[in-house]
Structure formats: structure tokens, C-alpha cells
């Protein structure tokens, strides 16, 4: 896949042809041929994906807005594709800017509470205790180096999110930080037994494409 962009007309099209195809094969592609015929004499540039991308919905959703970092001979840009209805094709536009990938880490609270519910049943622990655990864990994962995260798999429902957990070293350190907080022996045993699962606590790593500050203010 690659993108053809006309800098004079500000028109962008996406080709699903293999960029490594021969010149004759590319010339035979109707879309590529039509683009070059329509923009003969214009300044055109070819852009290739860098591998970083994001989507407002799951990638297979037809109404998702897709943002793909690309690079051409004149630098980096973001190809943005969207459509308002299912009856129209995806329209692409190009925003020329250097971008960076912003990564945020947080506790997957839904999964976290499901795990604790199963571990505690039929015991009852005050909600404030569980909430305090969640807050302490979130504070902890904000401070650790990114090297202490282990990516597990992407979330199919959230295209920019990956499920993650901690390395054994960080998980052990976090376990020591969590105080008993007045729990009875059985509740404490059940709660801390969750750390026997190497994927506990469940984390969500979110990636976002953001314009580099200097270029964003210059546009």
C-alpha cells in the first residue's frame, strides 16, 4: 500500500498495489494511471506507511477514521481517511507534519475488578479498599520505565490499545507496596493470591499519533 499526493491540487489517493511491483505493473493499475493522467504537469509525491497508525474505531469498521503516518521525499505526513456514509468511498487527505507516538499506560479497571470479584467470592471487601488498590496501581505504572511493561496482545475492539502486564520484578515490587489496609487474614490472602497470575494487574497501553510541538505551532 502507498499514497499518491498532488501538492498543487491537494488531492490524495491510496493504492493497494504492491509498492515493489515493476514500473509496468504499476502503470497498468487503473487508479494509478488515472491519477497521473488527471495530474499531468502537477507536483506529485509518493508516500509510504511507516508502520505507525491509529483508528477511531476497529480497523474493519467501515465508518472508522484512519490516520496513517507516511513518509515521502519531502518528509513525513499523516494520511487521514474517512467517509460519512456507507454509500461513499473512503476519501483521503494528507496533513504534512512530523508526528510522534504518544504512549499512555493505565489500569484496565474492568478486567481488574472482574479478577478481584472472582478471587474474593464469596468474601466481601469494602469498595474503598479495592478503589485504593486501583489508585495505587495506577500511580505505580505511571512511574515505571516502559521497559517494565510486557505487551500481550492487541485489543480487537480498540485498535490503538494493547493489553499488557508487568515484568516479574515490577510485579513483585508492586505487591510489596500494597498494604494490607486492615484486611482480615483470609481477605488479604485472597487479594494477594491474584499476583500469582503473571498477567495481573491487567494494564492497557494506548498509542496516539500526535504532531510534534514545533511543527504543530508552525502550521
Domain stop point among 67, 96, 125:
96
pLDDT at 57: 86
Note whether 208 and 54 are within 8 A (CB): yes
Do 70 and 34 touch, CB atoms closer than 8 A?
A: no
Residue in 120, 73, 106 with CA at minimum distance from that of residue 202: 106
Same domain, 91 and 108: no
Is 70:95 a contact under the CB 8 Å cutoff?
no
% the chain with pLDDT above 90 = 48
60 shares its domain with 135: no
Question: Both 146 and 79 in a single domain?
Answer: no
**Mean pLDDT (the chain, rounded):** 86
Task: Convert the pLDDT of each residue in 31-72 to its tens digit.
Answer: 888 888 899 989 999 999 998 888 888 888 899 999 999 999
State whether the Cα torsion 20-21-23-29 is positive or negative: negative
Q: Are residues 153 and 129 in the same domain?
A: yes
In angstroms, the CA 100 to CA 176 distance is 35
Predicted local confidence at residue 100, as pLDDT: 86
Report the 10 Å Cβ neighbour count for 205: 21
Residue where a domain terminates, one of 96, 118, 134: 96
Contact (CB, 8 A) for 151 and 46: no
Average pLDDT over residues 1-23: 83
User: Beta-carbon neighbour count of residue 117 at 10 Å?
Assistant: 10
Q: Based on the domain organization, do 109 and 184 belong to the same domain?
A: yes
Cell numbers given for 208:
496516539
Q: Find out whether 92 and 14 touch, Cβ atoms under 8 Å.
A: yes
- Tell me, what's the pLDDT at 216? 42
Task: Give the domain-ending residue among 96, 114, 137.
Answer: 96
Q: Does the pLDDT at position 120 exceed 90?
A: no
The pLDDT score that the predictor gives to residue 31 is 83
Identify whether residues 91 and 137 lie together within a single domain: no
How far is Cα 91 from Cα 13, in angstroms, rounded to an integer? 8
CA–CA distance, 77 with 97 (Å, rounded to integer):
5
Task: Judge whether 218 lies within some domain.
Answer: no
Q: Say if 217 falls within a structural domain.
A: no
Cell output for 23: 514500473
76: CB partners within 8 A, 6+ apart: 50, 69, 70, 96, 97, 98, 99
Amino acid at each position: 500500500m502507498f499514497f499518491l499526493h498532488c501538492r498543487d491540487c491537494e488531492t490524495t489517493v491510496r493504492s493497494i498495489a504492491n509498492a515493489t511491483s515493476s514500473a509496468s505493473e504499476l502503470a497498468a493499475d487503473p487508479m494509478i494511471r488515472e491519477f497521473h493522467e488527471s495530474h499531468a504537469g502537477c507536483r506529485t509525491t509518493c508516500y509510504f506507511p511507516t508502520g505507525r497508525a491509529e483508528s477511531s474505531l476497529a480497523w474493519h469498521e467501515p465508518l472508522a477514521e484512519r490516520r496513517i503516518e507516511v513518509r515521502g521525499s519531502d518528509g513525513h505526513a499523516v494520511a487521514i481517511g474517512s467517509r460519512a456514509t456507507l454509500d461513499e468511498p473512503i476519501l483521503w487527505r494528507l496533513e504534512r507534519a512530523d508526528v510522534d507516538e504518544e504512549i499512555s499506560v493505565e489500569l484496565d479497571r474492568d478486567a481488574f475488578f472482574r479478577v478481584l470479584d472472582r478471587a474474593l467470592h464469596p468474601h466481601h471487601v469494602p469498595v474503598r479498599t479495592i478503589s485504593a488498590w486501583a489508585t495505587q496501581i495506577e500511580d505505580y505504572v505511571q512511574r515505571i520505565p516502559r521497559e517494565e511493561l510486557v505487551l500481550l496482545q492487541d485489543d480487537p475492539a480498540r485498535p490503538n490499545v494493547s493489553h499488557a502486564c508487568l515484568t516479574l520484578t515490577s510485579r513483585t515490587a508492586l505487591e510489596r507496596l500494597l498494604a494490607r489496609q486492615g484486611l482480615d487474614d483470609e481477605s488479604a490472602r485472597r487479594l494477594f493470591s491474584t499476583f500469582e497470575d503473571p498477567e495481573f494487574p491487567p494494564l492497557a497501553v494506548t498509542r496516539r499519533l500526535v504532531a510534534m510541538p514545533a511543527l504543530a505551532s508552525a502550521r
